[in-house]
Amino acid sequence: MKRLTLKFGGTSVGTIEKIKKVANIIKKRHAEGNEIIVVVSAMSGVTDELNKKSNLISKDFDNKELDVLLSSGEQISCSLLSGALLDLGIKARSWLAWQIPIITNNNHTSSQIIKIKTDEILNFISKKGVAVIPGFQGISPEIRVTTLGRGGSDLSAVAIAKFFKTDSCEIYTDVDGVLTTDPSINKKAKKIDKISYEEMLEMSSMGAKVMQPSSVQASMVNDIPIHVRSTFSEKSGTKIVSENEADYKKVVTGIAYSKSNAKVSIVGVVDKPGVAADVFEPMGKNNINIDMVIQNTSLDGKTANITFTIKQENLKKTLNIIEKNKEKLNYNKITHDDKLAKVSIIGAGMIASPGVTYRMFRSLAEEKINILAISTSEIKISVLIREDLTQKAVRTLHKEFELD
Query: How sure is the predictor about 314, in pLDDT bands with cuts at 50, 70 and 90?
Result: very high
Q: Does residue 137 sit in helix, strand or coil?
A: strand
Query: How sure is the predictor about 208, in pLDDT bands with cuts at 50, 70 and 90?
Result: confident
Mean pLDDT on 343-369: 93
Cβ atoms of 4 and 35 closer than 8 Å: yes
Cβ atoms of 212 and 226 closer than 8 Å: no
- Return the pLDDT at 16: 97
CA 197, CA 87: separation in Å to the nearest integer?
Answer: 38
Query: How sure is the predictor about 30, in pLDDT bands with cuts at 50, 70 and 90?
Result: very high
- For the chain, the domain total comes to 2
Q: Does residue 186 sit in helix, strand or coil?
A: coil
Give the domain-ending residue among 174, 197, 216.
174
User: Which residue segment(s) compose the domain that 170 sits in?
Assistant: 3-174
Find the range with the poorest average confidence among 70-74, 76-80, 102-106, 150-154. 150-154
Which one is predicted more confidently, 150 or 21?
21
- Return the pLDDT at 232: 93
CA nearest to 350, candidates 387, 311, 312, 380:
380
Query: How sure is the predictor about 40, in pLDDT bands with cuts at 50, 70 and 90?
Result: very high
Give the domain-ending residue among 174, 207, 223.
174
CA distances to 24, 26, 288 from 31, in Å: 10, 8, 49
- Return the pLDDT at 301: 80
CA nearest to 198, candidates 154, 243, 239, 155:
243
- Residue type, position 75, single letter: Q
- Return the pLDDT at 51: 94
**How many residues are present in the chain?**
404
266 and 139 inside one domain: no
pLDDT for residue 351 is more than 90: no
- Return the pLDDT at 271: 85
Query: How sure is the predictor about 157, in pLDDT bands with cuts at 50, 70 and 90?
Result: very high
pLDDT for residue 315 is more than 90: yes
In-domain check, residue 225: no
In sequence order, what are the residues at sequence separation of 6 or more whose Cβ sits closer than 8 angstroms to the Cβ of residue 352?
Answer: 248
Give the domain-ending residue among 131, 152, 174.
174
Helix and strand totals (H; E) in the chain: 12, 18
265 and 144 inside one domain: no
| Mean of pLDDT over the chain | 93
In-domain check, residue 211: no
42 and 150 inside one domain: yes
Q: At 322, which CATH number?
A: 3.30.2130.10
Cβ atoms of 222 and 169 closer than 8 Å: no
Beta-bridged to residue 310, according to DSSP, are 262
Long-range contacts of 96-101 (CB under 8 A, 24+ apart): 96/134, 96/137, 97/71, 97/133, 97/134, 97/137, 97/138, 97/139, 97/145, 98/139, 98/143, 98/145, 100/133, 101/138, 101/139
Query: How sure is the predictor about 345, in pLDDT bands with cuts at 50, 70 and 90?
Result: very high
CA 132, CA 111: separation in Å to the nearest integer?
Answer: 21
Omega before 101 within 30 of 0, i.e. cis:
yes
In-domain check, residue 80: yes
22 and 160 inside one domain: yes
Cβ atoms of 226 and 204 closer than 8 Å: no
18 and 164 inside one domain: yes
- Residue type, position 203, single letter: M
In-domain check, residue 133: yes
In-domain check, residue 157: yes
163 and 51 inside one domain: yes
**Whole-model pTM?**
0.83
- Return the pLDDT at 334: 94
Residue 116 C-alpha from the chain's centroid: 22
Mean pLDDT on 278-293: 91
Q: At 166, which CATH number?
A: 3.40.1160.10
Q: Does residue 342 sit in helix, strand or coil?
A: strand
- Return the pLDDT at 300: 81
In-domain check, residue 187: no
- Residue type, position 363, single letter: S
Pairing state between β 238-241 and 194-196: parallel
Mean pLDDT on 313-340: 92
In-domain check, residue 209: no
For residue range 225-257, list pLDDT tens digits in order: 899 999 998 889 999 988 777 666 789 999 999
For residue range 362-373, list pLDDT tens digits in order: 999 999 999 999
In-domain check, residue 107: yes
Give φ, ψ of 181 to 5 degrees. Answer: -165, 180
67 and 170 inside one domain: yes
Query: How sure is the predictor about 399, in pLDDT bands with cuts at 50, 70 and 90?
Result: very high
Cβ atoms of 216 and 200 closer than 8 Å: yes
Beta-bridged to residue 335, according to DSSP, are 265
Mean pLDDT on 287-306: 88
CA 94, CA 228: separation in Å to the nearest integer?
Answer: 23
Percentage of the chain surpassing pLDDT 70?
Answer: 99
Mean pLDDT on 135-164: 95
Helix (H) or strand (E) holding 277: helix 275-285
